[in-house]
Chain A
Amino acid sequence: MSTRLSTGGRLLNKDKQVRFAFNGKQFHGFEGDTLASALLANDQMLVGRSFKYHRPRGIVASGAEEPNALVGLGLGAKFEPNQRATTTELFDGLNCSSQNHWPSLEFDIGAVNNKLARFFPAGFYYKTFMAPRAAWKHVFEPIVRQSAGLGRVPKDRDADRYEHFYAFFDVAVIGGGVAGLQAALAAAEAGAKVLLMEQTAHWGGRAPVDGGTVEGEKVDDFIDATVAKLQAMENVTLRTRMMGAGVYDHGYLTGYERLTDHTPDQDGPRHRLWRIRASQIVTATGAIERPLSFAGNDIPGVMLAGAMRDYIVNYGVSSGDRVVVVTNNDDAYRTAFTLKRHGLEVPVILDARPEGGGKLAELAREQGFRVENGKAISKVKGGKRVTGVAICTQAGEGAVLEEITCDAVAMSGGWSPVVHLWSHCGGKLTWDEAQAHFRPDPNRPPLGAEGQGFVKVAGAANGEFDLGAILKDATEAGLSAVTAAGLKPKSKAEAPAGETLAEANPAAVWLMPQGAGPALRMKAFLDYQNDVKVSDVMLAAQEGYESVEHTKRYTTLGMATDQGKLSNINGLATLAHSLNVDIPQVGTTTFRPPYTPISMGAIAGEARAETFQPLRRTPMHDWHEEQNAFFEPVGHWRRPYCYPRQGESHAEAVSREINQTRAALGLLDASTLGKIIVKGPDAGRFLDMMYTNMMSTLKPGKCRYGLMCNENGFLIDDGVVARIDEDTFLCHTTTGGADRIHGHMEEWLQTEWWDWKVYTANVTEQYAQIAVVGPKAREVLEKLGGMEVSKDGLKFMEWADGELAGIPVRAYRISFSGELSYEIAVPASLGRALWDKLLEAGAEFNVMPYGTEALHVMRAEKGFIMIGDETDGTVIPQDLGLNWAISKKKEDFLGKRAQLRSHMADPNRWKLVGLETLDGAVLPDGAYVPASGNNANGQRNTQGRVTSTYHSPTLGKGIAMALVHNGPDRMGEVLEIPGTDGTIYKARICDPVFYDKDGEKQNV
């Protein structure tokens, strides 16, 4: 029976009772409880089923290392799976349920796996699911998917909000136990800007439970006094409920702050991810107790000795009335003392060391405990709870000497320093033979950019377990961090004198008893969450797995959500033993951030809903929205695809917009087009390199269409260049190209032609740009009045500055539709005003805005290429029949040499042609034109592909552009093009210019 005691419970507020529900059952706890302590207080020993065998599992630890007590927490939009009960603070109304069981926790069908355990050894996935091949997809995978995973995936959108926070410190200390407090104090008193973070809600770590004195006073008083001192210092930031999650290069450190997990009704972000830059990091992350590997060590009621002590002292909860203590070290004796002090019975302390323990063991004997040296647990008896233990000698094979009735077992296999954060960024470890653990190697810390160490380690995390040694170590770590941060310490703190009873060395006990046979080994668990047993690791070794990384993946040891916090050392020691090598030779697996799982929300931060992604809007965006425009994403912009009217399909809207524009007047919001100013005495020379055609000969006041290739010769952008004055050009780019082409220009200027006198400026967003298009375009501009826009006053491919309706504008007479067309650039703040005036003045011509689809269709009718349709990064201008835009006079331009390569000059390259379907149908987008025969891969040969395809309302039929082998030489030939639905389309090769071949319309 686990129950609430009348004594203990230093963290509880017993005046405040809290209600909560577990699997629908109503329970009570106190404010200050964790979910784990409250479950134990209500005798809920069984909290979950294991992953593979569905074995009943109970709470085994009291902190972040807990492998078993995972629950689905909350309901609906607040639901979150895999929450550790040991790190979940209890709050009123908490609702949770256990995981990985069906139909219920008490009666679980999956537990049949347990009976079949000998058929599920390490690597059973690989062995079982190999053959027949089809069975994986149709039989095994569906079953594995059903039974895999622990928690359920949340179904609703997360109701909470999250955020990031950037912060900068000289020294960041992780861990608020005595070591962290002392290291922070030493660093702060020396003048550093210090952050101290603690993952729980309380300062002091294990010290208040483990006891000891500092300068003759209780360690609790030292903790209170140190916290008070730190709180009073301006250069110190203290944060509880904040876990050091990961250490990365350049002193980058993430802190996972849980703000409202314990008060879910409170306003504000739930989690905050601190993104910290620290000159130096001190990890004072303490140590984790290891289980012992004996048969039945996973039965509910078998618990880490330190955790059992925590539950009594911190929460006033006993895990059993009669507790057998089994250990390989001195620390577990403290649990025996604590149990006795709170009126509980300890029938025996089994110390696996033949010579027994030190002063603590002496004390135990003095107090009348039965202490058995060299003894071990042969096996634990019980199913869903412990009922007793069978005792044997550690040296033997498990022959039972005696059976003892008990309802709980406190085990301790020694303490492993928490080296995770030290190791995240490459800090190396050293094997401490005496303490039987890995600890940080101070000579091989994680290295910064200058090759200097940027992480220090303090206290138990450094393998120091004596209070006096911890305080000394922490003081040194704090001070040396200040120096390493490049500061001159203002003062040098002296370590206070700490005292605890000296401990004898532990013994290395990796299997209990050391000669345990197969039957016992099969029930001796290393990794609780993933059901990995001693026998599995031995099998892996037997099958030839020598590397710990391979063994880990083969057996799944340490691959669960707890990432092997309890199992790591025991597992690799077992492997080393099986391979008959030393533990350091086997080494450890790689520690990766985060230290424990952090929420997806914290990673996303503010990036959700409206702020998920920046959405770019033009000055006319609101108007488009008011018209119920159908938007399409173009980069981060949202551009109107078309403006459907009541009852109109998108296709109908597109046709209407085109017909109106070709007949009278249409408007296009072209503000998203890139606009880059290129200025300087070498601007012309520079643009001659950037574009394939000649730009330096362009006269001020004139425009020229240009093509841009990369150094490999491929077409990357196109647009109209206007020469503003002798030194200044304005280059238009595609919408998606604005930032990319600006970067491309700057890269060449900064790396290759750094001595050329050219400056660029991306002024894309300075201007709203409106295309005024159609036979009535001139009339509407003349109506607005203010500048010359006549046929000869502003000729095709010219630009002029002026005013329209009193608004300052720059008008470019250019056309992407084939119609009479002006693109009017206007300061963005006046864009909406000009747009409104054009609509007003254009009303008599039935003016309509048109969207990107109408733009696409109209340019295709004219045979104009579109970057991203006709080009895909493998197309050169010559493929598109754009040889006229490739200067032959220029000595060089980007792409020139590449285009001379044999494959680029190959006459067999597919070339651009037009296609018109024989029956007027629209070809499928991206369709391939097959050729006879198969290629080396057995695939059908191809001779071309469709790059653009539309229904042309102007021509009343389907038109397309395609890249076709020898296309321009095959005019009139009919191609057969299969669709994906089995239809074979017949299309005739034709000139890609379908409409107004002579350009008379735009030149009126």
Chain B
Amino acid sequence: MSEALLKTALSGASSDGFVRVEELGPQGMITLRGDFDSAGFAAAVKKAVGLALPKQRKISTGKGGSVAWMSPDELLVLVDYDQVGATVAKLNAALEGEHALVADVSDARAFFRLSGADGAVRDVMAKLAPVDFSPAAFGKGDIRRSRLAQVAGAFWTPEEGVMQVICFRSVAQYTFDLLSVSAETGGEVGHFG
């Protein structure tokens, strides 16, 4: 019924500079808060998503989706958009008796993908986020919850030459403009090769 009516923030906008920027989505996202030290919490995540709890500033990915570390008591669960309802239900069921919060935030966010030469993608990100993007400091499996210029953002690199970026939906246009202007030809930094 409603799939045809779904509208991401920018309807899949894209731009091509020395790095390609495109809006993806819709992407299923679930905020999960709880006590990481509780065995029941970890077991529930394992049961619902099939993944162990990620370490600080890490994202783990499996067949069913990804789980990202957001804060000492918050995770972000990434699943297919149409799996959100089922996953929320599974989590709630598995967390029965645990003090935890499960919230669907899929629509609260915009989701971008940067692609190009690995160094170029890192250069674009380093213009906006106060994060060490050198491959040694930030590789596959790392995630940062930081900022992009003036707005909050989270990002990780699922493979070489690709960066995935999440921001709040209301500032999707601003974030897209930021990423696009930073990827504009002529602005190559050449710092990361």
Q: Which residues of A contact B (CB under 8 A)?
A: 161, 163-168, 193, 237, 266-269, 272, 275, 277, 605-607, 610-611, 613-619, 636-637, 677, 679-681, 757, 759-761, 763-767, 806-808, 827-833
Are A167's CB and B181's CB within 8 A?
A: no
> Could you say which residues of chain A place their CB within 8 Å of the CB of B42?
none
Are B2's CB and A832's CB within 8 A?
A: no
Q: B142: shortest Cβ distance to chain A, in Å? A: 14
Are A606's CB and B105's CB within 8 A?
A: no
Q: Which residues of B contact A (CB under 8 A)?
A: 1-2, 5-9, 26, 31, 33-34, 73, 99-101, 103-109, 123, 126-134, 137, 149-151, 168-175, 177-178, 181-182, 184-189, 191
Name the residue on B nearest A680 (C-beta). B99
Are B107's CB and A767's CB within 8 A?
A: yes
Whole-angstrom CA separation of A694 from B61 in the bound complex:
44
Q: A696: shortest Cβ distance to chain B, in Å? A: 17
Whole-angstrom CA separation of A356 from B133 in the bound complex:
57
Q: A242: shortest Cβ distance to chain B, in Å? A: 12
Among A614, A619, A807, the residue within 8 A (CB) of B7 is A619
Name the residue on B nearest A260 (C-beta). B186
Return 23 A-B CB contacts under 8 Å, by A number.
A165-B189, A166-B126, A168-B132, A267-B186, A277-B132, A605-B127, A607-B150, A610-B174, A610-B181, A611-B149, A611-B178, A614-B149, A615-B173, A616-B171, A679-B101, A761-B101, A766-B104, A766-B105, A766-B106, A828-B9, A828-B107, A828-B169, A829-B6
Are A761's CB and B103's CB within 8 A?
A: yes
> Could you say which residues of chain B place their CB within 8 Å of the CB of A763?
103, 105, 108
Are A165's CB and B127's CB within 8 A?
A: yes
Given contacts A614-B151, A760-B101, 10 further A-B contacts (CB under 8 A): A164-B127, A168-B132, A636-B171, A761-B33, A761-B103, A763-B105, A766-B103, A806-B1, A829-B7, A829-B107
Name the residue on B nearest A682 (C-beta). B99
Are B5's CB and A833's CB within 8 A?
A: yes
> Could you say which residues of chain B place their CB within 8 Å of the CB of A764?
108
Are A166's CB and B181's CB within 8 A?
A: no
Name the residue on B nearest A257 (C-beta). B189
Among B6, B169, B181, the residue within 8 A (CB) of A161 is B181
Q: A275: shortest Cβ distance to chain B, in Å? A: 7
Are A677's CB and B103's CB within 8 A?
A: yes
7 residue pairs, one from A and one from B, having the closest CB atoms: A268-B186, A267-B186, A833-B5, A616-B170, A759-B101, A828-B107, A765-B108
Whole-angstrom CA separation of A163 from B182 in the bound complex:
8
Whole-angstrom CA separation of A560 from B170 in the bound complex:
45
Q: A611-B174, A615-B173 are contacts. A681–B99 as well, Cβ < 8 Å?
A: yes
Name the residue on B nearest A613 (C-beta). B150
Q: B152: shortest Cβ distance to chain A, in Å? A: 10
> Could you say which residues of chain A place their CB within 8 Å of the CB of B103?
677, 761, 763, 766
Whole-angstrom CA separation of A763 from B123 in the bound complex:
32
Among A266, A269, A614, A759, the residue within 8 A (CB) of B174 is A614
> Could you say which residues of chain A place their CB within 8 Å of the CB of B189?
165, 272
> Which of A272, A605, A614: most chain B Cβ within 10 A?
A614
> Could you say which residues of chain A place their CB within 8 Å of the CB of B6?
829-830, 833
Q: A166-B130, A166-B131, A269-B186 are contacts. A806–B171 as well, Cβ < 8 Å?
A: no
Q: B188: shortest Cβ distance to chain A, in Å? A: 8
Whole-angstrom CA separation of A707 from B108 in the bound complex:
26
> Could you say which residues of chain B place their CB within 8 Å of the CB of A267?
185-186
Whole-angstrom CA separation of A165 from B131 in the bound complex:
10
Q: A610-B177, A611-B177, A833-B2 are contacts. A759–B100 as well, Cβ < 8 Å?
A: yes
Q: A784: shortest Cβ distance to chain B, in Å? A: 13
> Could you say which residues of chain A place their CB within 8 Å of the CB of B184?
161, 268
